[in-house]
Chains A and B, each alone.
Chain A
Amino acid sequence: MTVGIVLVSHSAKLAEGVAELAAQMAPDVRIVPAGGMPGDGGLGTDYDEVVAATQRADSGAGVVLLYDLGSAQMTAELAVESLADPSAAVVADAPLVEGAVAAAVAAQSGADREAVREAATGAGLAPDLAAVHEVPEEGVEEQELTLVNEVGLHARPAAVLVRSLSSFEAEVSVRLGAQEADAHSVLALMSLGARQGDRIVVRARGRQAGEAIAKVTELVDTSFGE
C-alpha cells in the first residue's frame, strides 16, 4: 500500500505523459492522470474526473495531487474539499514534472503522504549539491566506485539507488568531482550528471553506514540491475 498520485493538467496528453514518466520509477504506485475535458478531449480541467481519479489513486495511504497551471490548482483543491474524508488527500504546490517524479519515488519507497508531498514541493528547489569536504569527517565511511552501466546515474538507476538506501539507517552522499549530492534525492543524484566510466565517491555516516556502502557498491557493480 503506497501513497497515490493524481496529475491534474489542462491537457490529457500532458497528464498521461508525466504519469508515464513517473511510473517508470515507481512501478507499485498508483499514478492517475486527470487531464483535459471529457468528450472532445479539449483543454481544461474536469472536476468530476479529478474527483474520480483521486478516489482511484487512494489505496488507503492517501493521495497527493499535482497540477500544471492556475485553474488546475483550483479544481484540485475543490476536489479534495469534496471528498468524504478531505484529510485523505492533499494538493502539492510543486512543479508538475519534477514534482511528480520526486513524489512517485518517495511513494514507492513507502513514504507517508506528508513526506510524499514534501518530496514533490522540494523538487522545485535547487538540488542539494553541497561543497565537498576534502577531509572525510570522523565516523564517515567512504568508497570510490566506477560507474559501469550504460546510462550512468540517470533517472532509473538514481531511483533504484534511492529506493535501496531507504531501508538503511545511514546518511549517504555521492560525490563526483567537485560536487556532492544527497543520495536520498533522485533529482540531486541526476543533477550530478555522472556517466558511464565516471568515478564517484560514496560517503555514508550512521549506524548502518557500512551496509549502505556495501549496497551501493553491489548496485554499481551489477549495473543497477540493467
Chain B
Amino acid sequence: MGCSSEGLATALRAAAEVIAEHRDELVDLDRAIGDADHGENLNRGFTAIVAALETQLPPTPGAVAKLAATTLISKVGGAAGPLYGTAFLRASAKLGEAAEVDSALLVDALRAALEGVQARGKAVGGDATMVDALIPAVSAAETAAGGSVAEVLTAAADAADRGAESTVDLIPRKGRASYLGERAVGHLDPGARSTALLLRAFAEAAR
C-alpha cells in the first residue's frame, strides 16, 4: 500500500517527536565538533512543520513535502535548514502530483533528496556529513525497491544507522567540524545522526 498525504503528514509528526526526544543528544554531538545548535535548530524546524500541518493538510504527498521544505528553510537557521529543506524540495518535485507514493516513487524521491543535499552542501561520501548516512540509505532503498514502502524505509534506515556510525572514524571535510580536522575523529556527525533518526521515524510510521 502506498503513502497518502495524510500518511506523510503522520510520518512528519512522528519525526518531530523523535527529534524532540533526541534534541539534547544532537546538541551534545554538535557541541563536541560544531556550534551546538543542531538539536535546537531541527527541533524548531519540525515543531514548525507540525504547527503548519495543523492549519492545513496539503492535498498530495508532494505538496506536504514542499510545505516541510519551505518550513525548514525558513525556520531552522543553521546548515540543516538549507540542506534538509533542499532534500524535501527535490523529493517534492519528484513526487509531483501523485496522490499516493509507492515504493518505486519513494526510491526516486530519496535519490532526488540525496542529489539535492549534495548539490547544496557540495559534500561527497567520506566527508563526515549527513551524506554518509544518505548514500547507503538510498542504495539500500534501491535494493529493497521491490518490497513495501515500510520495507524500503526500514532498509534505508538500517543502512543510514551504519552510515552514520561510519562518520566516527572520518576526518570532517565540510561544515564547522572541518575546522577541527583530525581532532574531530572519534565523534559521530550530528547531521548523519539526525538523518538516520528521521529515516527510522519514517520507517516506524510506515509500518
Q: Is B35 within 8 A of A70, CB to CB?
A: no
A211 to B191 CA separation, bound complex (whole angstroms): 59
| 9-residue interface stretch from A40-48, A56-64, A109-117, A133-141 | A40-48
Q: Is B176 within 8 A of A48, CB to CB?
A: no
**A83 in contact (CB, < 8 A):** no
Q: Is A70 within 8 A of B79, CB to CB?
A: yes
| 9-residue interface stretch from B53-61, B82-90, B152-160 | B82-90
CB-based nearest B residue for A46: B77
Partner of A74, one of B35, B41, B74, B121: B121
Contacts of A78 in B (CB 8 A): 73, 82, 85-86, 120
User: Which of B73, B74, B176 has the most A CB atoms < 10 Å from its CB?
Assistant: B73
**B78 in contact (CB, < 8 A):** yes
A70 to B85 CA separation, bound complex (whole angstroms): 15
Partner of A70, one of B37, B73, B77, B176: B176
Contacts of A75 in B (CB 8 A): 81-82
Do A71 and B73 contact each other (CB < 8 Å), given the known contacts A44-B37, A78-B86?
no
A154 to B77 CA separation, bound complex (whole angstroms): 37
Q: Is B86 within 8 A of A71, CB to CB?
A: no
CB-based nearest B residue for A49: B74
- What 0/1 readout, one digit per residue, does chain B (58-97) give for beta carbons within 8 Å of chain A? 0000000000000001100111011101100000000000
Do A71 and B78 contact each other (CB < 8 Å), given the known contacts A43-B35, A77-B120, A78-B85?
yes
Partner of B74, one of A47, A69, A70, A71: A47
**B175 in contact (CB, < 8 A):** yes
**B174 in contact (CB, < 8 A):** yes
Contacts of A43 in B (CB 8 A): 35, 37
Give the residues from 9 to 41 in chain B that come closer than 8 angstroms, CB to CB, to chain A: 35, 37, 41
- What 0/1 readout, one digit per residue, does chain A (66-102) give for beta carbons within 8 Å of chain B? 0001110011011000000000000000000000000
Give the residues from 120 to 164 in chain A that come closer than 8 angstroms, CB to CB, to chain B: none
Do A47 and B73 contact each other (CB < 8 Å), given the known contacts A71-B78, A71-B82?
yes
Contacts of A46 in B (CB 8 A): 74, 77
B151 to chain A, nearest CB (A): 33
A47 to B120 CA separation, bound complex (whole angstroms): 14
Contacts of B121 in A (CB 8 A): 74
Q: Is B79 within 8 A of A71, CB to CB?
A: yes
- What 0/1 readout, one digit per residue, does chain B (142-185) give for beta carbons within 8 Å of chain A? 00000000000000000000000000000000111000000000
Contacts of B78 in A (CB 8 A): 44-45, 71
**A37 in contact (CB, < 8 A):** yes
A21 to B82 CA separation, bound complex (whole angstroms): 29
Contacts of A70 in B (CB 8 A): 79, 174-176
B19 to chain A, nearest CB (A): 17
Q: Is A74 within 8 A of B77, CB to CB?
A: no
User: Which of B77, B81, B120 has the most A CB atoms < 10 Å from its CB?
Assistant: B77
Interface positions of B (Cβ within 8 A of A) = 35, 37, 41, 73-74, 77-79, 81-83, 85-86, 120-121, 174-176
28 pairs, CB–CB < 8 Å, chain A vs chain B: A37-B77, A43-B35, A44-B37, A44-B77, A44-B78, A45-B77, A45-B81, A46-B77, A47-B73, A47-B74, A47-B81, A47-B82, A70-B79, A70-B176, A71-B78, A71-B79, A71-B82, A71-B175, A74-B82, A74-B120, A74-B121, A75-B82, A77-B82, A77-B120, A78-B73, A78-B82, A78-B86, A78-B120
Which 3 A-B residue pairings sit nearest by Cβ, starting from the closest?
A44-B77, A71-B79, A74-B82
